[in-house]
Chain A
């Protein structure tokens, strides 16, 4: 999952890096195929070099050490609003068929559960050219319709984003799960573009909370290379973030 996420970063891009797995995906991309990617962190950090150690939060001291830039939140997040940021990475509690994210109100055993909220996720989802979501593949998480749109994807499909006033060059690009990679087609709906090795399409469909469309040219996600795996193991040796 982390390797698939890292591959969404192209060399030379400006990348908005969210908390948790995105931090490892960015570090992995930097050390493999995208050495010239630049990482932007909403707390005010810009990095051209990957951090060698595991980050628990983006404000951990190693993320400031030898950073390219340290400043305030507006100096970094304004780059998003200008449309300069190529890709933003997010985790989520729930994502729906149109790529809308919910991190505000979850549901557990029929009861409403208050989650931490947007952080910078809504800003990134509104303003990045491409938004990539990373989460575990579970029918409780991939739902037909999120109960609360914390961070907008394609709303209810079609020209919804433009109607809201969101930038033309923005929106959800991929959902990377523990089972496969979903992309967005005509009408703004997610479809299964690739499945991870050893996973069947039926398994994916049974774990998705809506009748998921499957690409005619469905691919198998390339497995992480030895090189990628060794970088992941080096960054997260105790599997704090990469449990699988």
Chain B
């Protein structure tokens, strides 16, 4: 096909190898509890990344796993833990006891994290907000600084723009150039993609460009921002992808129990990450019953939008 956009479709292994070196800052968990790029994080663990800076509003247990695996030097986040079970034990061990290594934490709130990425997406050095005034977060996070409004004397926080090296954004469907359709709660995904120097899209489905062009309102990441497209069905498990699979609540509860003690976590990591070469193998290990139970059983298609003229 002449004039066709070049394909950026590569494997997860290749995407991490090419675009996510050690010491990178990486935005993950941008869609909050939905669509967390677990398979990308697991590949970073397998490839032995070190000194990473993890960026995200909340990350559920993915950040905890990567901290426990020794990949992380710094976390810039609003919340790190296990969304349905509470604390993140690896996060605690790292912060409290430097196990497996000490990490620096830069505490944000969800809104100030969103503002930091929005500022970067807008191409300005900071954005003002009233959120976090009076909070002790201001004492430790140098990217949140009080100032006086030049137009009305109000006290405000200047939230410094944040430009991650790479955003890893799971989407429902993309074409091979990276034009991506995503839906559901979007969190900070759109700003996060624009704020980052590179974007890796992780798609449940690869579709022809005319599927994307049929509904341009749903194209929330234009392909020219995208460095790599990875076709990785079930790449977000145990997090949900609306329209594709549900949240594996039991998996989060099991992780909570199996990460409480260091030696149990090491066994968990071995079993679910280090000895699992690919996402296809991971799904085999998860088993047909569990996968079947998480599949969408009742689809709920939206009404089509008419772009005719």
Contacts and interface: CB of A to CB of B under 8 A. Distances in A.
A118 to B, nearest CB: 4
A192 to B, nearest CB: 25
Given A60-B240, A118-B108, A19 B83 contact: yes
B81 A122 contact: no
B134 A155 contact: yes
Contacts of A58: 32-33, 185
B88 interface: yes
Given A77-B111, A113-B96, A117-B78, A44 B84 contact: no
B95 interface: yes
A61 B246 contact: yes
Interface string A132-169: 00000000000000001111100100001100111100
Interface in B181-228: 183-191
Interface stretch (B38-46, B125-133, B263-271, B274-282): B125-133
Contacts of A81: 111, 129-131
Interface in B229-258: 239-240, 242, 246-247, 249, 252
Interface in A164-186: 164-167
Contacts of A45: 185
Contacts of B107: 104, 117-118
B186 A44 contact: yes
A127 B185 contact: no
Nearest to B239: A59
A150 B130 contact: no
B240 A126 contact: no
A43 B84 contact: no
Interface residues of A, number: 51
Contact of B187 (A66, A73, A118, A160): A73
Contact of B32 (A43, A104, A116, A148): A43
Interface in B153-206: 154-156, 183-191
B186 A127 contact: no
A119 B78 contact: yes
B186 A71 contact: yes
A94 interface: no
Most chain B CB within 10 A, of A56, A72, A126, A160, is at A72
A233 B239 CA distance: 26
B103 to A, nearest CB: 10
A43 B33 contact: yes
B92 A117 contact: no
B58 A119 contact: yes
Contact of B80 (A64, A117, A150): A117
Given A72-B187, A73-B188, A122 B109 contact: yes
A148 B132 CA distance: 13
A123 B184 CA distance: 22
A149 B138 CA distance: 10
A72 B81 CA distance: 22
B114 to A, nearest CB: 5
B196 to A, nearest CB: 15
A167 B111 CA distance: 16
Contact of A161 (B58, B96, B134, B191): B134
Given A72-B189, A77-B114, A114-B91, A57 B133 contact: no
Given A122-B109, A126-B131, A56 B118 contact: no
Nearest to A83: B130
Interface in B120-151: 129-137, 146
| Residue from B129, B133, B185 having most chain A Cβ neighbours under 10 A | B185
Interface in A28-49: 41-45
A165 B131 CA distance: 10
A116 B87 contact: yes
Contact of A150 (B81, B87, B135, B188): B135
A220 B83 CA distance: 34
Interface in B45-89: 57-58, 60, 77-81, 83-84, 86-88
Given A73-B114, A123-B109, A164 B33 contact: no
A184 B95 CA distance: 35
Given A57-B33, A150-B135, A166-B130, A70 B186 contact: yes
B154 A116 contact: no
Contacts of A165: 130, 133-134, 146, 154-156
Given A74-B191, A81-B129, A61 B81 contact: no
Given A56-B247, A118-B137, A150-B136, A123 B131 contact: yes
B110 A123 contact: yes
Interface of B: 31-34, 57-58, 60, 77-81, 83-84, 86-88, 91-92, 95-96, 105, 107-112, 114-115, 118, 129-137, 146, 154-156, 183-191, 239-240, 242, 246-247, 249, 252, 296, 300
